[in-house]
């Protein structure tokens, strides 16, 4: 088990290094960080631009630039933004914001999706199953930026229906939040509900479809009949023997879907005004900042790597055949 | 392509049960697909949308860029069916224009990425060895980086050129399909007809084209349909962030983006383009599902077994 995980971790680390290399080179090749400076009116003196150029190492070849950046990253320094602030400080400030969204969204989405999918499979072709199938397809077909706005619209309706500000949809906290730990907590919760729901809904729909299919495959298998024949109740047979087997393919899905989740977070953060990595990514693109973009790709890569490692662990725990290797 | 197909199979279905035992695989698949009402309806809707968004704009009194100063921010009316925005632009004309872009990009990207997926998948699966290992490494690598981020990095410079968008989106959306194709190819490689062809001296390229591709065609067709939805989604997402189609031209993504801030006060600005987008993706997904049910017999077998209970 440890050797299996160590091997996987090594594989992921090499992939991560390569991915950040690709991203950095792409960004450094495409971006012109001086554009903002050049298009300023009045145009700054040539000496200032030249100094900036030297400061950002833009005079050196791409590979040297990457080498300088990478040696900094290894020591935990992601360089500076175009305007001179250290990227690392900002990175740490924003990581927490995004992780809260991503972790909550993925966990809620996965668990709810698996439960809904398994339930739908057990009730195949009943009304509830049909409704769930149609709804999940509809949710999958709705991009996160449409979903977020639709949720805001319905939340507004609910707010005015109840006459209280039940849901909040700008930022993480209210600027005028009244003191007291409990009030702060409630305030954060009110802000958290809609963004998390936006992210979770997509995952829920996706997982429920896959889980339903996997569960249906398993339900037709002989070992379920055997389990029933040896006297297990239907519920026990389904949950102990059916669900566990049907969960195995989900573990692999988890790793892949995390990259998609990060993309969703870009939109969610933009729409709900969260100052996380996704919002920063758009900022970085607009200012054509190589260091910001590379730092975000590294962060995204690390989250996908962790999700991949986690899914390997779940896989190994669920599938007895893996433990031998 | 789709219209004659439906009529043909409905007549064959009418012609009696005994014909069924002689029906070719193609007719069987068609018959199974036609029985799936949601999928057939979605094909009809998608074809209508495709024709409509190209045929309708010349017939409208307003083009997508015309400004109507007498109707600013108007709700839907008989004059402007979808209403107008703050500049007095007709939203119906704009939505149709956006659909042209989104559908064109979606269909092109789906085809190109499927071709890449089929090529990579069959080569990796058929030859194995170093080709397999290096290709799957590339796939793994591209799956680790959120490919959407990389597309946005590059697409910035292309200034909303559609051809570039198609190329970029295709290059970053073939990975998962190629894995599935690879898996199927690996199991086909050891089958008798492939081995026989190899011993008869048929070249590898020919074996892949004549024996492997037709046998993985079902998965390729399903994937193309599902990829249309994904590609439309990716294009609108890029345009929504302002990195795709550039003004003054419009896409469903830019329309939704400009409608979002006023979604609460002027809902038609958001709801019509968003509705069109969701409808397109929903139809593409339903068609993909219908194709899977029709082409993949294994999912059918289970259904019957459960139904009998």
Interface pTM, i.e. ipTM: 0.83
User: What is the percent of chain B where pLDDT is above 90?
Assistant: 19
pLDDT score recorded for residue B1? 37
B304 → chain A, closest CA residue: A220
User: What is the percent of chain A where pLDDT is above 70?
Assistant: 97
Q: How many residues in total does chain B contain?
A: 309
More confident residue, B232 or A48: B232
pLDDT tens, residue by residue, B123-161: 999 998 899 989 988 888 887 777 788 888 888 777 768
More confident residue, B5 or A100: A100
pLDDT score recorded for residue B203? 92
Q: A154 touching B, CB under 8 A?
A: no
Q: Please report the residues numbered 270 through 299 in chain B whose beta carbons come closer than 8 angstroms to any beta carbon of chain A.
A: 270, 274, 277-278, 281-282, 284-286, 289, 299
Q: What is the DSSP string of A150-171?
A: HHHHHHHHHHHHHTS-----SS
pLDDT score recorded for residue B117? 93
pLDDT score recorded for residue A38? 76
CB A285 within 8 A of CB B244: no
Q: What are phi and psi of B84, to 5 degrees?
A: -130, 160
**Above 90 in pLDDT, residue B116?**
yes
B38 → chain A, closest CA residue: A134
pTM here is: 0.83
Mean pLDDT of B231-256: 86
Distance between start and end Cα atoms, chain A: 7
pLDDT score recorded for residue A323? 57
Q: What is the mean pLDDT of chain B?
A: 81
Pick the range with the lowest mean pLDDT from A113-117, B8-12, B126-130, B148-152: B8-12
Beta-bridged to residue A95, according to DSSP, are none
**Above 70 in pLDDT, residue B5?**
no
A16 → chain B, closest CA residue: B144
**Above 80 in pLDDT, residue B231?**
yes
Q: Do B156 and A262 touch (CB under 8 A)?
A: no
pLDDT tens, residue by residue, A44-91: 788 877 887 777 777 788 888 888 888 888 888 888 887 778 888 888
More confident residue, B258 or A179: B258
pLDDT score recorded for residue B304? 38
Enumerate residues 6+ apart whose C-beta is below 8 A from A97.
Answer: A172, A269, A274, A275, A276, A277
Q: What is the mean pLDDT of chain A?
A: 84
More confident residue, A64 or B81: A64
Residue B200 distance to chain A (closest CA, Å): 39
CB A290 within 8 A of CB A33: yes
**Above 90 in pLDDT, residue B110?**
yes
Mean pLDDT of B11-16: 49
Which contacts (CB < 8 Å, 24+ apart) does range A191-195 have?
A191/A272, A192/A100, A192/A104, A193/A167, A194/A148, A194/A151, A194/A152, A194/A155, A194/A167, A194/A168, A194/A169, A194/A272, A195/A101, A195/A105, A195/A148, A195/A268, A195/A269, A195/A272, A195/A274
pLDDT score recorded for residue B282? 92
More confident residue, A35 or B276: B276
Mean pLDDT of B105-112: 92
Partners of residue B141 in chain A, C-beta under 8 Å: 15, 18-19, 22
In the block, tokens 């299919």 appear at: A213
pLDDT tens, residue by residue, A249-307: 787 777 777 777 888 888 898 888 888 888 888 888 888 888 888 888 888 888 888 88
Q: B18 falls in which pLDDT band (50, 70, 90)?
A: low
**Above 60 in pLDDT, residue B16?**
no
């Amino acid at each position: 088990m440890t050797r299996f995980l160590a091997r996987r971790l090594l594989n992921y680390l090499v992939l991560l290094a390569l991915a950040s290399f690709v991203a950095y080179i792409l960004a450094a090749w495409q971006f012109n960080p001086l554009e903002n400076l050049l298009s300023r009116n009045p145009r700054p003196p040539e000496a200032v631009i030249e100094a900036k150029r030297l400061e950002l190492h833009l005079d050196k070849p791409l590979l040297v630039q990457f080498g300088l950046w990478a040696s900094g990253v290894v020591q935990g320094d992601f360089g500076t933004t175009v305007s001179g602030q250290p990227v690392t400080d900002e990175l740490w400030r924003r990581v927490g914001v995004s992780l809260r969204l991503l972790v909550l969204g993925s966990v809620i989405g996965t668990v709810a999706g698996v439960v809904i999918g398994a339930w739908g499979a057990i009730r195949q072709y009943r009304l509830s199953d049909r409704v769930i199938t149609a709804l999940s397809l509809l949710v999958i077909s709705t991009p996160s930026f449409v979903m977020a706005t639709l949720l805001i619209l319905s939340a507004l309706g609910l707010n005015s229906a109840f006459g209280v500000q039940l849901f909040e949809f700008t930022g993480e906290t209210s600027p005028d939040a009244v003191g007291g730990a409990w009030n702060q907590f409630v305030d954060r919760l009110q802000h958290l509900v809609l963004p998390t729901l936006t992210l979770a809904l997509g995952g829920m729909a996706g997982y429920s479809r896959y889980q339903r299919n996997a569960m249906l495959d398993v339900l037709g298998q002989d070992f379920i009949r055997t389990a029933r024949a040896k006297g297990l109740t239907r519920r026990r047979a389904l949950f102990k023997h059916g669900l566990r087997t049907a969960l195995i393919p989900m573990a692999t899905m988890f790793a892949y879907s995390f990259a998609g989740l990060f993309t969703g977070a870009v939109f969610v953060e933009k729409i709900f005004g969260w100052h996380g990595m996704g919002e920063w990514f758009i900022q970085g693109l607009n200012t054509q900042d190589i260091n910001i973009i590379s730092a975000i790709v590294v962060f995204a890569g690390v989250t996908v790597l962790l999700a991949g490692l986690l899914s390997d662990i779940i896989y190994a725990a669920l599938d007895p055949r893996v433990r031998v290797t | 392509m789709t219209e004659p197909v439906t009529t043909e199979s409905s007549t064959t279905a009418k012609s009696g049960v005994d014909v069924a035992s002689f029906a070719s695989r193609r007719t069987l698949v068609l018959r199974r697909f036609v029985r799936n009402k949601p999928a057939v309806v979605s094909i009809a809707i998608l074809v209508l949308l495709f024709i409509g968004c190209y045929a309708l704009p010349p017939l409208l009194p307003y083009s997508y860029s015309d400004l109507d100063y007498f109707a600013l921010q108007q709700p839907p009316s008989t004059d402007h069916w979808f209403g107008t925005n703050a500049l007095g632009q007709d939203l119906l004309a704009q939505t149709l224009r956006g659909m042209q872009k989104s559908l064109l990009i979606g269909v092109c990207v789906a085809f190109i990425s499927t071709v890449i997926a089929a090529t990579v998948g069959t080569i990796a699966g058929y030859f194995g060895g170093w080709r397999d290992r290096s290709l799957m490494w590339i796939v793994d690598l591209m799956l680790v980086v959120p490919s959407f981020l990389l597309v946005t990095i590059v697409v910035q410079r292309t200034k909303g050129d559609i051809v570039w968008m198609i190329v970029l989106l295709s290059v970053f959306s073939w990975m998962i399909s190629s894995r599935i194709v690879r898996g199927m190819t690996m199991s086909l490689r050891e089958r008798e007809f492939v081995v026989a062809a190899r011993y008869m001296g048929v070249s590898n390229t020919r074996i892949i084209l004549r024996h492997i591709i037709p046998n993985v065609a079902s998965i390729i067709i399903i994937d193309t349909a599902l990829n249309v939805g994904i590609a439309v989604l990716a294009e609108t997402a890029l345009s929504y962030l302002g990195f795709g189609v550039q003004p003054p031209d419009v896409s469903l993504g830019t329309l939704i983006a400009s409608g979002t801030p006023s979604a609460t006060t002027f809902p038609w600005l958001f709801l019509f383009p968003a509705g069109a987008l969701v409808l397109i993706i929903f139809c593409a997904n339903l068609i993909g599902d219908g194709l899977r049910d029709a082409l993949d017999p294994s999912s059918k077998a289970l259904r019957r077994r459960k139904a009998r209970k």
